[in-house]
Amino acid sequence: MTLIKLLEGLRVKRRTGPFNAEIKGIAYDSRFVEKDYLFVAVKGFIADGHDYIRDALNRGAAAVISEKAVADVTDAKQFALQKNAAFIEVPDSREALAFISAAFYGSPSRSLSLIGITGTNGKTTTSFITKNIIDAGGRNAGLMGTICYITGDKRRSASHTTPESLDLQRCLSEMVYNKMHYAVLEVSSHALSLKRIEGCSFKAAAFTNFTQDHLDFHGTMDEYFKAKCQIFNYLAPDGTAVLNLDDPKIRPLARTLSCKVLTCGLEEDAMIRAENIRSQNKRPGTNIPGGMSFDVQTPVSRFTVNSRLIGRFNVYNILMSIGIAHSLGISDEVIQRGLADTKPVEGRFENIDAGQQFLCIVDYAHTDDALKKLIQEARPLTTGKVITVFGCGGNRDRTKRPLMGAVAAELSDFVIVTSDNPRNEDPMEIIRDILKGISKSNFMVQPDRAEAIKEAVAIAGEDDTVLVAGKGHEDYQEIKGERHHFSDKDVLREEIKKLLADS
């Protein structure tokens, strides 16, 4: 595609140089620039792309997009002229990257029905349930979220919950190529704030719940909420907002949004409502139920859901998926079939059964609200003690650390405070922040996460439950900028194996 064609409709302040070049690729990291590429200089959290304009030009970039009007950019502009490259100044390079990426890949979202799911918790499970329902109706759905990206027959590990706009549009184009009909996207507040989904138009946008997280990025809860609500700006004219009516922060949106709204919840005024929630038979050899069932009342029908998932939080995730499916015109029969086939999502209240007599659960809970719900769901399954192992991530919202400590100590019988992904922080500094919220004496500190899990397994009795929270599906631990292989599930299985061998 020619550069001048890519620039159509883009907000441009100034531009110089030749614009008839054929652009062979786009990059926002100069290391990936090749001959005749367009380089978009974006300011990141660690590095500023504007500092690498010369490097991009030396690697063969045919054009550069920049938003900075400073001396070094002026020098870069002169250097671009020497290289016979175009130089385009824009008011917002992230916005430009998104729109240009969509154009370069042929606006793939126009060939897909896009579903966006945002919320502090529940995005991943809701997205997998929704994909399963769509697939059950014979219409293939791609998926992009915290665990993985599915753009065809293969799945690959996710780099971000919602990738950068260039990578997002590339994945959407793969879905179109692979003849998929729908794309289910987890949409993070970061992605909304950083304009990663510009150029996308959603048939349905769901808001699962809202609790504290990411204040290191957004600053305040109000700003965090405003970021989440931006998803509704990307709804198609005939699109539907699907809302958790039971969440007190989300409820007012049902009255204030100008788009079509479908509400879900347990409250009587919810348009899609769950009733008569009941556990199904326990799986052999464990204390954990084999699933649950409940009745669903919609504006036009009533039917029964049977699911392998458990827990009140999963009732909400299922209801949100039903709401999305109804907004897309999917029948109750297909919904029932899709829900019955949905397996528990990796790292989300995942039962680790290696032959031990006590229950072990791995979960991604990394906010105080998610941790609270996790422990509350484990309590009725446990006749003995609830032993919780958790930590908090480094270089992230510090204000939630004591809140998580308070919840863990208050609701658990015993807590082992450990490391999560310390990143570039001292693990003990993170732990000290957690301990500020703990007023009871039912805890111990073990900074080594593997040793903390080992300790939990060692002290667990036959009727106890061990909860390992915070990392869920992750198979790494990030320390001092490096990712080391680490899996809560693998460590649990190994320690249980040793325990059984010694008994």
Residue 319 has pLDDT above 90, yes or no: yes
* CATH fold match for the domains 3-103 and 350-502: no
Query: What pLDDT score does 238 carry?
Result: 94
Nearest to 168 by CA among 144, 140, 193, 147: 144
Q: How far apart are CA 10 and CA 20, in angstroms?
A: 16
For the residues 360-389, what does the mean pLDDT come to? 93
* CATH number for domain 3-103, candidates 1.10.10.1100, 3.40.1390.10, 3.40.630.30, 3.30.420.40: 3.40.1390.10
Q: What does the pLDDT look like over 250-259, one tens digit per residue?
A: 999 999 999 9
Q: How far apart are CA 311 and CA 348, in angstroms?
A: 11
For the residues 124-129, what does the mean pLDDT come to? 96
State the pLDDT confidence band at 397, using cuts at 50, 70 and 90.
Answer: confident
Q: How far apart are CA 159 and CA 476, in angstroms?
A: 12
Residue 248 has pLDDT above 80, yes or no: yes
Q: What does the pLDDT look like over 128-160, one tens digit per residue?
A: 999 999 999 999 999 999 999 999 988 888 888
State the pLDDT confidence band at 282, using cuts at 50, 70 and 90.
Answer: low
Query: What pLDDT score does 283 carry?
Result: 58
How many CB atoms sit inside 10 A of residue 204's CB? 26
Most trustworthy range by pLDDT among 215-219, 274-278, 286-290: 274-278
CATH number for the domain formed by residue range(s) 106-341: 3.40.1190.10
φ, ψ of residue 263 to 5 degrees: the values are -105, 150
Percent residues over pLDDT 90 in the chain:
79
Q: Where are the domains of the chain?
A: 3-103, 106-341, 350-502
Most trustworthy range by pLDDT among 11-25, 270-284, 444-458: 444-458
Q: Give the Cα-Cα-Cα angle 170, 172, 174 (nearest 5 degrees).
A: 70
Q: What does the pLDDT look like over 155-193, one tens digit per residue?
A: 888 888 899 999 999 999 999 999 999 999 999 999 999
Q: How far apart are CA 215 and CA 450, in angstroms?
A: 29
CATH superfamily of 350-502: Mur ligase, C-terminal domain (3.90.190.20)
Average pLDDT, the chain: 92
Query: What pLDDT score does 288 carry?
Result: 66
The tokens for 32 are 């990936």
Three-state SS at 493: helix
Nearest to 140 by CA among 152, 128, 149, 129: 152
Residue 477 has pLDDT above 60, yes or no: yes
Q: How far apart are CA 83 and CA 78, in angstroms?
A: 9
The tokens for 382 are 């446990």
Q: How far apart are CA 175 and CA 167, in angstroms?
A: 13
Report how far apart, in Å, the C-alpha atoms of 483 and of each of 79, 358, 476 are. Answer: 37, 31, 6
